[in-house]
Structure 1
Amino acid sequence: MELDIVALSRLQFAVTALYHFLFVPLTLGLSVLVAIMETVYVMTGRAIWRQMTKFWGTLFGINFVLGVSTGIVMEFQFGMNWSYYSHYVGDIFGAPLAIEGLMAFFLEATFVGLFFFGWDRMSKVGHLIATWCVAIGSNFSALWILIANGWMQNPVGSTFNPQTMRMEVSDFFAVLFNPVAQAKFVHTVSAGYVTASIFVLGVSAWYLLKNRHAELAKRSMTVAASFGLAASLSVVVLGDESGYGAAEHQKMKLAAIEAMWETEPAPAAFTAFGFPDTEARETHYAVHIPWAMGLIGTRSLTTEIPGIEDLVKSAEARIRKGIVAYDALQTIRAAGATGTVDPAIKAKFEENGADLGYALLLKRYVDDPRTASEEQIVKAANDTIPSVPTLFWAFRFMVALGFYFIALFLVFFVVTSRHTHTKRPWLLKLAVFSIPLPWIAAELGWIVAEMGRQPWIIEGVLPTAAAVSNLGATTLLVTIGGFAAIYTVLFIIEMGLMVRSIRKGPEADDHRPEPELISTTIVPAE
């Protein structure tokens, strides 16, 4: 039953997270595209760019509202479904989320109002500044959330307090400039830019196929093709950086993505295709690209990338050290009331404390890790292997879509440069049918990131199974069904509003001149 509760808690958070991430990439990307369009309007003064800004801004607003409403629920889940996690790392994890709300979300929400209601109440430059503040606020929100998530992937700048049983911040700047968090941030926002560019490209192509709003569609397509090409290229480069970070900080995730069961001689090959077999622990019909994985994962030709089997053996050794740390921890806590702790016990904990989390993996099989059998230790070590087929295929589909986006944007960049938008209807149809693909790629990316970390909720520190609240299975099933139903309704509402706005098209722009300063000249009384 305990394991079922863990699985159900994970499922509930996965459902809400994946729903929420349907809205996030478009918000990130559209906010910047809209700001770019308004910048062109301010520079040129041409009304068509103002009309474009207002039209795409409306679609951004619809998506923004739904994204906020789905994201709020996730923060409550930390306290309700993951109470021990919140206790264990609240001092660290809570800070970026609080800063995100105070600094980024308030900034974004305030200037969203100015964007929609300030068109004829502010100067051109003033309104442009408000629009860019919306874009900056959106990306700031992603930054702080990904700093929190990046710390879960690579817990730096923190120490464990054995008396309070909590992780505490020891170096905030190490948390802030965590290389995993920074790589995830730039990779995620670039993926959002690609999503918005495909969306604008596809909707514009639909208008051209219907012979509607051609001027708006052509200009929007030009902006989307140029911005999207740069963003899609950056996704590949930044994804490579994420791979390098995984090789350094999350070796098991990288090995599972590659279905690399045995350690290969350096430089390791990249498995382009194959069928991972978890029972036989081998990959059938594998097609390898020599040296590629070594270059991506280590930036060298001489450094090995450990395979799954060797990493499991390493985990087994760390579990044994973790048991020593757990034993010392219990002694320290028992002596906490008197305040006298044997220095040798302290030294034993400090020597093995980094592996305490590995001992907690045994909680799945035994209440006290010190009483674990050899068989249970081996099982716990094997639990450190995530779902290899899921990661293997999710990563490859994501990468394939990424290269498809580069090709699509490159073609449209050439087409828009030559002003031959309408001469290839098949290409326009391809753009329309491509609209859902970046969302699929983004969801696959999150599956790789989060499932690749399992069985850890905090890499190497706290197992997922040890972080859940003591809830009943019935409660979880009811809330999963409720969240799925509510989020599905919200998704249908958003799709309906977006489709209706797209079908309606841009409104005729009743542009009025900028507001003039009120004269303060005093007319003398006669």
Structure 2
Amino acid sequence: MEAGVIDLSRLQFALTALYHFLFVPLTLGMSFMLVIMESVYVMTNRPIWRVITRFWGKLFGINFVLGVATGLTMEFQFGTNWSYFSHYAGDIFGAPLAIEGLMAFFLEATMVGVMFFGWGRMSKLAHLIVTFLVALGTNLSAVWILIANGWMQNPVGATFNPETMRMEVSDFGQVLFNPIAQAKFVHTVSAGYVCASVFVLAISAFYLLRGRWVNVARRSMVVAAAFGLASSLSVVVLGDESGYALTDNQKMKLAAIEAAWHTAPAPAGITLVGWPDVHARTTRYSVEVPWVLGLIATRSLDKEVTGMSELVLKAQERISSGVIAYDAVQQLKRDPANVAERARFELHKRDLGYALLLKRHVADPRMASPQLIAATAWDVVPNVPLMFWAFRTMAFIGFYMIALFATAFVLASTRRHDRTRWFLKLALFSLPLPWVAIELGWVLAEVGRQPWAIDGVLPTFLASSSLTRGMLWTTIVGFTALYGTMAVIEVRLMLASIRKGPFEHGEDHAEDGGFGPGIPPASPPASPPVTPLTA
């Protein structure tokens, strides 16, 4: 395989995945915000809430189409760019993706058409149920996608079969109820709800600053403030739960996030800021808060948080054990009925993936020297500076979101949210922050798993297809051009809809003060004097 093919394959998938996830969180959050808005319309029967629901539904629809279009290419890349991964783990990884398409995507794709074209063709309650089904289907999609991704982070419920040389399902229940997948789902969808809340808050603030469609913007902001406050609080709480899940299942990722080079005495302190020095394997200029990391990661004051150096020593032991499993597999390929080799494999099979790390340096892992095994063990450490700063940036934005929505909620409760201009400007400029945090979250999840395509099972450098650098550069340039064009189209459509405002042609603006754009109507002309002729 050409040099650089693995890095280019990862770059292409990262670009398409991060671009796709610009649309997914807004779809997740907006779907349930539409349910809330339409529920108010059904309960109050006030036409302005119908206008509000249809307006935000139009922006949801534009975003939904782009999310579907960009998601399709990602699924194909598992076959085109990561064919050995698909062969090695397709029995497990493919099942959640297939269920997602059959159960969730078909539901949301069907109901979204009914939602858009069903206005006036069904009862209000029936249309609300359809909107809820769209939201349900959208969030069910996230469930199954994150089950698949969670299995890559924590491959439970599967085992390696030396006869087929593939991973196979041993307990599908463990795959479904994987603790990493559960933590990722609730954290991810909550982040999507925050994203949608900021989107509604910012556009409503823009209208209020311009004095346009004031009553629509005021009501939309109230929904965004309440929904956003609950969601931002849940993101932080559920993010804490994700950190606790890492303690049991991804210790190296947790240590890299905290730049914990060595195991500290319990309870460990959390590093607020610092400068991770990879060469010296220390964190310079660190500022720590005592006990906090121990409480977050272990829920106790007497348990340790294992450092990277100690985890590397464990990886070294697992590589040596994996070499034994690798040798047993080679023997079983020649003699599948060999009972002794089967028993030896069963004893060490959990570490087989660690032996495969040696293939980056030597064709046959059994030929690796102790010195090579010790050096290879450090390959399990991800990019520590990137992990360290990505997490802290994401966490800062998370707490900022709580402060933003708490302020919005207080102002909305006191009915000052439509005239507090400093807050309206702050809300408008906060629009991109949830996307920054969400993309950094995926960087943490995926970079933190390296060097594994499947944690502890299949190294990334073995998972790719047999491609050339020319092929990959061609597709990267092509995807960049295509996605760039799609981004321009989406932004223009969004801006055009926002400029046009919430009212359709012929809709009654009476509940918005009698004038949609917020411009007072002209004074009526004076009546002509009544004369006997005109009378």
Which bracket does the TM-score occupy, shorter chain normalised?
Answer: over 0.9
**Contact 1:51–1:509, Cα closer than 8 Å, also in 2:** no
Residue equivalent to 1:320: 320
Structure 1 match to 2:376: 380
Write out per-residue CA displacement over residues 441-461 of structure 1, whole angstroms, 9 at most, x where no aligned residue.
Answer: 000000001100000111111
Q: 1:502-521: per-residue Cα shift (whole Å, max 9, x none)?
A: 11111247679xxxxxxxxx
How big is the shift at 1:165? 1.0
Counterparts of 2:165 and 2:341 in 1: how far apart (Å)? Answer: 17
Say yes or no: does 1:454 pair with 2:434.
Answer: no
Maintained 8 Å contact 1:154/1:459: yes
Q: Which residue in 2 is equivalent to 1:291?
A: 291
Q: 1 CA distance for matches of 2:103 and 2:503? A: 34
Cα distance in 1 between the residues matched to 2:455 and 2:202: 39
Contact 1:25 1:193 in 2 (8 A): yes
Structure 2: distance between partners of 1:52 and 1:422: 17
Indicate whether 1:369 and 2:365 are aligned: yes
Residue of structure 2 equivalent to 1:213: 213
Identity %: 64
> 1:491 Cα shift?
1.1
1:374 offset after TM fit, Å?
2.6
Q: Say if 2:47 is the partner of 1:47.
A: yes
Deviations 1:348-368 (A, max 9, x none): 101110000000001101111
Q: Aligned partner of 1:503: which letter?
A: R
Asked if 2 retains the 8 angstrom alpha-carbon contact of 1:153 and 1:453, the reply is: yes
Q: Which amino acid aligns with 1:97?
A: L
Q: Following superposition of structure 1 onto structure 2, how do residues 47-196 of structure 1 map, counting pairs within 5 Å?
A: 47-196=47-196
- 346, 352, 356: which one aligns with 2:352: 356
1:518: which partner in 2?
A: none
**What is the alpha-carbon distance in structure 2 between the residues aligned to residue 476 and residue 374 of structure 1?**
36
Quote the Cα distance in structure 1 between the aligned partners of 2:305 and 2:88.
Answer: 32
Deviation at residue 3 of structure 1 after TM alignment: 4.7
Deviations 1:288-325 (A, max 9, x none): 11111011111111111110111111111100000000
Aligned 8 A contact 2:218 2:418 in 1: no
Whether the 8 Å contact between 1:47 and 1:511 is mirrored in structure 2 is: no
Code of the residue aligned with 2:449 in structure 1: it is R
Distance 2:100 2:270 in 1: 38
Cα deviations by residue, 1:238-282 (Å, 9 ceiling, x for unpaired)? 000100111110000000000000100111110011000001000
Q: Is residue 407 from structure 1 mapped to residue 419 from structure 2 by the alignment?
A: no
8 A Cα contact 1:24 1:192, kept in partner: yes
What letter is aligned with 1:461? V
Distance 1:176 1:509, change over 3 A: farther
- Contact 1:92 1:168 survives alignment (8 Å): yes
Structure 2 unaligned segments of length 5 or more: list them: 509-535
Contact 2:201 2:220 in 1 (8 A): yes
RMSD: 1.1
Q: Which residue of structure 1 lines up, in the alignment, with residue 513 of structure 2? A: none
Residue 516 of structure 1: aligned partner: none
1:333 deviates by: 1.1
Superposition deviation, residue 100 in structure 1? 0.3
Counterparts of 2:132 and 2:357, CA distance in 1: 47
Aligned CA distance change for structure 1 residues 106 and 510 (closer, same or farther; 3 Å): farther
1:523 corresponds in structure 2 to none
Q: Which moved more, 1:488-497 or 1:124-133?
A: 488-497
Residue 442 of structure 1: aligned partner:
438
Q: How many residues align?
A: 508
Superposition deviation, residue 484 in structure 1 = 1.3
CA distance, structure 1, for counterparts of residue 484 and residue 22 of structure 2: 11
1:315 alignment partner AA: A
3-state secondary structure, aligned to 2:442: helix
CA distance in 2, matches of 1:286, 1:509: 60
Kept after mapping to 1: 8 A contact 2:244/2:296: yes
The alpha carbon displacement at 1:405 in A equals 0.2
Task: Give the TM-score normalised by the residue count of structure 2.
Answer: 0.94
TM-score where L is the length of structure 1: 0.95
Over residues 428-453 of structure 1, what are the superposed CA-to-partner deviations in whole Å (9 max), with x where a residue is unaligned?
01100100100000000000011000
Shift of 1:232: 0.3
Find the residue that maps to 2:273 and give its secondary structure.
strand
- Does the 8 Å contact 1:260/1:308 carry over to 2? yes
What is the aligned partner in structure 2 of residue 276 from structure 1? Answer: 276
Shift of 1:376: 2.1
In structure 2, the partner of 1:493 is: 489
Pairwise CA distance, 1:160: 1.0
Once the two structures are superposed, residues 7-61 of structure 1 have per-residue CA deviations (whole angstroms, 9 ceiling, x without a partner) of 1110010000000000000000000001110011001100011000000000000
Give the whole-Å Cα distance in 2 for the aligned partners of 1:120 and 1:435.
33
Aligned counterparts of 1:475 and 1:223: Cα–Cα separation in 2: 48
**Deviating 4+ runs (over 3 angstroms):** 508-512
Please list the CA deviations of residues 202-234 of structure 1 after superposition, one character each: whole Å capped at 9, or x if unmatched. 000000000001011000000000000000000
State the secondary structure of the residue aligned to 1:260.
coil
Q: Is the 8 A contact 1:3 1:465 kept in 2?
A: no
Whether 1:265 aligns to 2:265 is: yes
How far apart are the structure 2 equivalents of 1:333 and 1:37? Answer: 62
* 8 Å contact from structure 1 (residues 25, 195) kept in 2: yes
Secondary structure, in 3 states, of the residue corresponding to 2:156?
Answer: coil
Question: Could you list the runs of 5+ residues in structure 1 that have no partner in the other structure?
Answer: 513-526
2:23 maps to what in 1?
23
CA–CA separation in structure 1 for the residues paired with 2:138 and 2:334: 48
Shift, 1:378, TM fit: 2.1
Comparing 129-138 with 2-11, greater Cα deviation is found at 2-11
Residue 462 (structure 2) aligns with: 466
In structure 1, give the amino acid aligned to 2:457.
V
Instruction: Report the equivalent of 1:519.
Output: none
CA contact (8 A) 2:82 2:464 kept: yes
Distance in structure 2 (CA, Å) of the matches to 1:243 and 1:509: 50
Q: List per-residue Cα deviations over 1:83-129 (Å, max 9, x = no partner).
A: 01000110000000000000000000100001100001111111000
Partner of 1:248: 248
Q: Cα gap change, 1:426/1:153 in structure 2, threshold over 3 Å: closer, same or farther?
A: same
